[in-house]
Structure 1
């Protein structure tokens, strides 16, 4: 579903002038059709979650598919990896994907190509030294193959983040559909707003420490949703 300037302004609770400014500064995903700006709803949803922006309405439905997305399970499938080498975005993504647990039947060259294509559209940097690389469209259909691969970089790399901070950790997300992708992205964003989790990132904590913390946070937000 495509949105107009007015729709996005109302959703984000800002003026239309602000939306035009964000377009000019390439801060918001948009496209131009017949001399008018249009916005893909899924792209805006993802952008909102990535940037932790308040909206005037829920951005995705709590369907059965979104409720079952499990960040801890996804992290265990994708794995936590350390000392990923590289000095450019392309080098980092190639070396990171070489380490991750790829879903059956999906070759790593394909994953890298789609990650780079998405990155060329707009940075996946979340800010505070974190990026969430992912394909624009799902590469898998089986939800049991979904994964999040957490990759600590050997050194910070410029991902053109809005806060100008170089990236030192990646969360590579492979999801089965857009609703589940948004749910996983929301859970990662939630974790990254926690001082305790950011401290684990800062000291590149052991895998089980990260799994344990994420598991406790998951139980906490599930409790508050009951």
Structure 2
């Protein structure tokens, strides 16, 4: 799956000009086809997990000055559910379809993944062993740790196309070593399952953004329940300003 500059801009809710700036400074992986930049799915996934989101937020902040709201009509258009793009409640819906799993036992990521897949596989209508194998294989390619004690185990091949998107938030009984770039043990995992490549990338981007939010981080550190997290995510997604 090749992504264009327009695709990536929509994914991160920033302008195409911001993506061009990232390309200019070699801060985002890409390749060229007939003189046009393209982005590989796996490369963008890994980049989302490892990139310093503060830099991306600074880029978006700059764009808000480049593309200001000029009148009430324009604001109405930007806030319209049809034009929001990323500012849809995709994470809220996926979390609502999923669940919160607390005190999952395991000293290694493989043990946690195996324990979780036994719980979630029936809801996904997939085989637990196959699901665990897909998730572990993805971890072997590159750890899905976001840093600051968070990780996003995911496998695009795990669900049938057209299935409901689901996110399961998992609190291990004890924090575990996960191969994170910051070397911090993981205390919260977002198990991500999406019914399409587009939804997969949108949810991964949302989770990467959410992980940098101080209030969200504290809720996860406190091992908040599903109701509290749903309430926060709904309000947070509703406040995201669409660019372009």
TM-score band, normalised by the shorter chain? 0.7 to 0.9
The 1-side partners of 2:225 and 2:2 are apart by 43
Correspondence for 1:127: 147
Residues matched between the structures, number: 193
SS in 2 for 1:213: helix
The 2-side partners of 1:163 and 1:116 are apart by 21
Correspondence for 2:208: 189
Correspondence for 1:169: 188
Residue of structure 2 aligned with 1:218, choices 232, 237, 240 = 237
Correspondence for 1:59: none
Correspondence for 1:11: 23
Where do residues 1-226 of structure 1 align in structure 2 (5 Å cutoff)? 11=23, 13-14=25-26, 41-53=40-52, 70-100=90-120, 102-143=122-163, 145-221=164-240, 224-225=241-242
Q: 97-106 or 207-216: which moved more?
A: 97-106
The 2-side partners of 1:51 and 1:76 are apart by 27
Structure with greater contact order relative to length (CA < 8 Å, sep ≥ 6) = 2
Displacement of 1:13 after TM fit? 2.3
Q: Deviations over 1:147-185 (max 9, x none)?
A: 111001100111111100111111011112222111001
- Residues 81 and 100 of structure 1 are in contact (CA less than 8 Å); yes or no, is this contact kept in structure 2? no
The 2-side partners of 1:107 and 1:68 are apart by 31
Q: Structure 1 regions of 5+ residues with no counterpart?
A: 4-9, 20-27, 29-38, 57-61
RMSD over aligned Cα atoms: 3.2
The 1-side partners of 2:181 and 2:103 are apart by 24
**Aligned CA distance change for structure 1 residues 67 and 181 (closer, same or farther; 3 Å):** farther
The 1-side partners of 2:108 and 2:89 are apart by 31
The 1-side partners of 2:24 and 2:43 are apart by 10
